[in-house]
């Protein structure tokens, strides 16, 4: 009689891990576009988020979008104080 550990293959475990990581990546990219308000300024495309944490979380995505578009993309948070 075979145990359950012998029936599991490394391929199945790898597939589960890849599906989990892939779903996290899809949720991250979807949140980048869905949660942000889009604004086109003269110097850059701007994506505004309600919280500073969210703005900081999506800075790597803005960098990637900058490289793909060839135009500056920045994130900002809507409660950011105006500079004097």
**Token representation of residue 43:** 């110097």
d(CA 77, CA 55): 6
Domains of the chain by residue range: 9-77
Measured CA to CA, the distance from residue 32 to residue 59 in angstroms comes to: 9
Residue pLDDT, tens place only, 59-77: 999 999 999 999 999 998 8
pTM comes to 0.72
List pLDDT tens digits, range 37-55: 888 878 889 999 998 999 9
């Amino acid at each position: 009689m075979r145990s359950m550990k012998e029936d599991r293959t490394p391929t199945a475990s790898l597939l589960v891990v890849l599906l989990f990581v892939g779903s996290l990546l899809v949720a991250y990219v979807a949140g980048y576009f869905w949660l942000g308000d889009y604004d086109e300024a003269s110097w850059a495309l701007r994506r505004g988020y309600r919280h500073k944490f969210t703005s900081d979380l999506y800075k790597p995505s803005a960098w990637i979008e900058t490289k793909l578009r060839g135009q500056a993309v920045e994130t900002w948070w809507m409660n950011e104080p105006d500079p004097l």
